[in-house]
Structures are given as C-alpha cells and as structure tokens.
A and B are shown apart, each in its own frame.
Chain A
C-alpha cells in the first residue's frame, strides 16, 4: 500500500511538470503582449516597456522563466499578477468560494445521482426509469450556459424565489441555484452510470447467492449490490470534483460568483499570465490528488484489488 502510494506520487511528478509547462508555454509563448496590453490604447513608452519586461522577467528565455516560476512555486510563491497583487492572494479569495460551490454541487450529485441511479437500475424499463432517462437526456443535451440563463431567468427573475445573482458567497441559500446548475450535467452522468452498473450486477451470481441464502432485500441491495456497483461511479465522481472546480467558468459567470472560474476567465481575457498559470496549477494538483484517492478507494470497495 505504502509502496503503491509512493510510486503513484512519483508518477505524478512528470505529469505535474508537463501540465504546468504546457499551460505556461501556451500563456507566454503565444502571440499577444501583456506589457503592451497594460498601456491600453495609448502609445507605449519604449523605456517603460523595457523596464516592465525586466521587472516581470519577460526578457529572459522562456525555459528560464519557467524554471524561475517552478522554483518559486516550491517555495510557495505563485508570483505576482500584472496588476501588482500576489497571485496567492487572489487565489486565497477565490478558492474558498469555489470549493464551497463545488462541494455543494458534489453533494447534490452524490445524493440524487446515486439515489436515482439505484432506483432506476432496480426497476429497469418501468415508468420511473423511463422518466429519469428522458430527464437525464434533456439535461445532458442542453448546454450549461443555456440552462444557467434559463434557471436564472425563471427562478430568479420571474418567480423571485432566489436572488438572480450571488451577492454574498458566504450565504448558502444564494449558492443553491448555481450549485444545482453546476451539478446537473454530472448528476445525469452519475445517474446513468449507476443505473447501468446496478442493472448489470443485478444478474450477477453473487447477488443470486445472497438472495438464495435468505438475506433481506435491504442487505442484498445495500451491501452486496451497492459495493460492487459503485466502483465505476467512484471513478467518475473522483475526477469530477476537479472538473466541477475548473468547469465552473460558465456557471460562475452567469451567477456572478466571485470564485476560481470567474477569476480564471477574467485572467484569460486580460492576458493575465501569472494568474492563469497559478490557478491552473492548483487545479491540476486537485485533479492529480483526486485521481490518486480514486485509486485508493478501489481497494476499499473491491477486496480483490490489492496494492503491493
């Protein structure tokens, strides 16, 4: 177990370096000059441009810049945004909001996704199954930005049930609608995935054995069936937490949530290189750690899987 974790952690290093390098190269080597952009429509003073370039280290070769960045990173320094604010500060403001939103969405996904999936998987072909199936298809095919705008318009503006935009991200009631919108797509996937595996495993030998030896239905479904059916679902859910955090760009934009997605979007639009690289680096870390956790959870769910 310990060796497995160590090996996985070692494997993460090249992936982490590769991903940050990739995003670094995309942000800094592609056309578009952030220093010139600071001057807006005014003519840039050449001397100032040279000074600013030097200040931000943009006059060094790209690989050198990346090296400086990574070595700074390991000392906990995310660098400074072009507006002069430390990127770490920016992220300290944005991440708690997004984590709260993502966890809220994750909880909705977990409870309703698995719940509906098990219910429909047990009753394949019945009315509830068909209704849920159609619902998931509709959700999957309507893009998030349409869904978000419609939800905001109907629930927020017309019915006035919630505030159309989030004014106070500390207030969970205000986050409810954004969280539902954020969760819906993944919820549909979780439902369909759970339904398929439950329906498949229902025919498995061990379920028949469990029924034959007279176990109550609750135990057959709750322990024998669930534990085996959850493996693919856990895989999906594990990687989904990172997706929820990074994928909140659209949802946060619509509901004006001051989180990571919004920060990231603004940074991309204004060519704020350091902020983009910093935020993406953290998101990649979240992704890597969550996929490791998923691998470890396999062993808990399936005793046949052992990590030496």
Chain B
C-alpha cells in the first residue's frame, strides 16, 4: 500500500511515533479521519473530531502497535527481500537434501530454518515468498473495495430498479463461495500468475463490500447534510464522493482490512490445491503444498512458511479489530 500522505492526520504530539513508516496503518487512519473534515471547517474550536479520537484510541492500543510493527516487517520483506537474506530462494543444493535440520540459533543465516526437500534454504524461500502473498492480498483488497464500493454506492443511492438489478447480481455471485469460484475460474488459465489469481479472487470477492456499502449509503442518503448539499446545487457525483463517501467509508475499511488476511489465506489455499501459483513462483502456498508430502521427514519445511502465513493473516485481522474498536464510540 503506498503511503499517500494523509492530510493533517497526525496530531503534532505524536510526530515521534514514526507513523510514516507504517504505510497501511497510516492510510487507514487517514481514511478514518475523512468523515470529519467537512465539519472541521465549521467549528475548528470543537474539542476533538471522531478521527482524532480514533487516532488517540489507536495509539493507546497494543493491538495496533503489535500488528503495525508486524506488518511493517512483512511489507519490508515483500518490497525488499535482500534486506533480510542474500541467498537465492531457487538455489537448490542436493547435498542439503532432506532437510538439513534447522539451526535455530543461526539468526538470519541461510540455514536458520533448515532446508527443504530440494535443498533450498527455507529461510530464503520464506522471505521471498512474502511478496506473492502480500501483493495478491493488497491488490485484491484494493480492487474489491473499488468494485464493491462502486456497485454498493450506486445500488444504495439510486435505489429502485437499479438497486434491484445490482442486488440480484450481488446475490448471484454470493451463491458461489470464494474458494470454489476461484478454483473453477483459475482452472481455465494455463498460465497462472499473481495477476490471474488477483483477478479470480476479485471476481468472487467484491460482494461483501458491496453489501456493506449499500447499507451504509442507504442510511446516509436522507441525512440533512445531503439534502443541504443538494439544495446548494451539488451534483450527484459531488454528493456521492464529497458528502456521502466520507461518512460511510469507516465500516468499509474495517471489513476490507479484516478480509485482506482472508484473501492471503485463500491465495495460499489455491496454491496448495495446485490451482493457484506454480513452482517457479516462490510463494508460501506453493512451499506448504510441496512440504506437505514430506511432513514426517521435514515438518519444519511446512511449519515455517505456514507460521509466516498465519502471522500475516493474524496481523491484518488484529489491525482491522483495532481500527474498528477505535472507530466505534460505543465500545469505549
């Protein structure tokens, strides 16, 4: 996720906390702030806005910091694997075959987590495998949020037959579970890359966001500020994007963040089933699938990538939880 400079997100008191390094978290926090920008101009004197409140809450939450630090490390791993290891993940040395055992004390070295059946360094493969998982997870989430968000917004705002049509289409896609849809769709591609997997997961993943968005837009569209904006002559596009969107984006972001971990897990599951990414691509799912056949001889070849995979999923779920708790004043 690019760090797209959140405007006045960070109160000056927390500059030292280093929020810039935390790309994903900063973006979430930025979006959390959006809803209040409108009334900020009206009353700058007001105590604290919802966004600032949420940020204050986030700063105090250990969940946020744990998941934030974990995610920074994992994203760093995806962007810049050579920072962690300079061993080629595809370099196979059969002298290490079966699984030269892990040397748990050899931190960050080639044999830290031992070798897999091909004599490849499990550590190097795990570090390089982060990229595929994180790219798929982030891209699917972005695509799903945009696609589902647009469908949900149009259905919720315009209502009538547009809503009926779009809602039925949503229902149709809901009838096919994500894993099953991805399986059938990907089977048709002989050349499966990160992008085809992203496409397949997006095609069957956008419905949840669409429903959340539709519901949120319906609750907001008769609000006074929308009527006021219309009375002032604002067009449909302006009302939707400047007035309604900032007020409904909160729940969408929470759902999307939590779902991100799920997409990463689904990508790994597809690779595990032999239908997602394939061997020359280094990915956690591919490695887990390969190691499963030799679980008895070398459980570490499965446990290490599986552990990293679970940790990533966990980090995104925790982040989503933390953001939800911060955004929901009821729980305070």
Contacts and interface: CB of A to CB of B under 8 A. Distances in A.
A32 interface: yes
Interface string B252-287: 000000000100010011001111000000000000
A1 interface: no
Interface residues of B, number: 41
Interface in B282-322: 288, 292, 295-296, 299, 302, 306, 309-311, 313-314, 317-318
A104 interface: no
A250 B317 contact: no
A144 B175 contact: no
Contacts of A30: 185, 187-188
B237 to A, nearest CB: 30
Interface string A1-25: 0000000000000111011001100
Contacts of A301: none
Contacts, number: 113
Interface stretch (A53-61, A241-249, A292-300): A241-249
A249 B175 contact: no
B184 interface: yes
A9 to B, nearest CB: 14
Contact of A247 (B177, B275, B311): B177
Interface stretch (B16-24, B90-98, B164-172): B164-172
A271 B323 CA distance: 43
B269 A144 contact: yes
B23 to A, nearest CB: 21
A232 interface: no
Interface in B171-211: 171-177, 179-181, 183-185, 187-188, 190
Contact of A243 (B171, B173, B177, B261): B177
A15 B187 contact: no
A208 B245 CA distance: 38
Given A22-B173, A23-B176, A246-B180, A145 B188 contact: no
Contacts of A280: 176, 180, 184
Given A18-B172, A153-B299, A157-B296, A141 B311 contact: yes
Contacts of A269: 187, 274-275
A146 B311 CA distance: 13
Nearest to A146: B306
A140 B317 contact: yes
Contacts of B318: 137
A143 B265 contact: yes
Contacts of A243: 177
A22 B177 contact: no
Contacts of B274: 269
A18 B273 contact: no
Given A18-B169, A249-B180, A287-B175, A142 B310 contact: yes
B52 to A, nearest CB: 25
B40 to A, nearest CB: 30
A284 interface: yes
A137 B288 contact: no
Contact of A143 (B184, B190, B269): B269
Contacts of B177: 243, 246-247
B175 A284 contact: yes
Contacts of B171: 15, 18
B302 A26 contact: no
Nearest to B266: A143
Nearest to B296: A157
A268 interface: yes
A288 interface: yes
30 contacts: A14-B168, A14-B172, A18-B171, A19-B173, A19-B175, A30-B185, A32-B187, A140-B313, A140-B317, A141-B261, A141-B313, A141-B314, A142-B306, A142-B313, A145-B292, A146-B288, A153-B295, A243-B177, A249-B180, A249-B183, A250-B269, A265-B273, A268-B187, A269-B187, A276-B184, A280-B184, A283-B180, A284-B175, A287-B175, A288-B175
Given A27-B184, A141-B310, A149-B292, 11 more contacts: A15-B171, A18-B171, A19-B173, A23-B176, A26-B188, A143-B265, A143-B269, A146-B302, A200-B330, A250-B269, A280-B180
Q: Which 10 A-B pairs have the closest CB atoms?
A: A30-B188, A141-B314, A18-B172, A19-B175, A141-B313, A146-B306, A143-B265, A284-B175, A142-B310, A15-B171
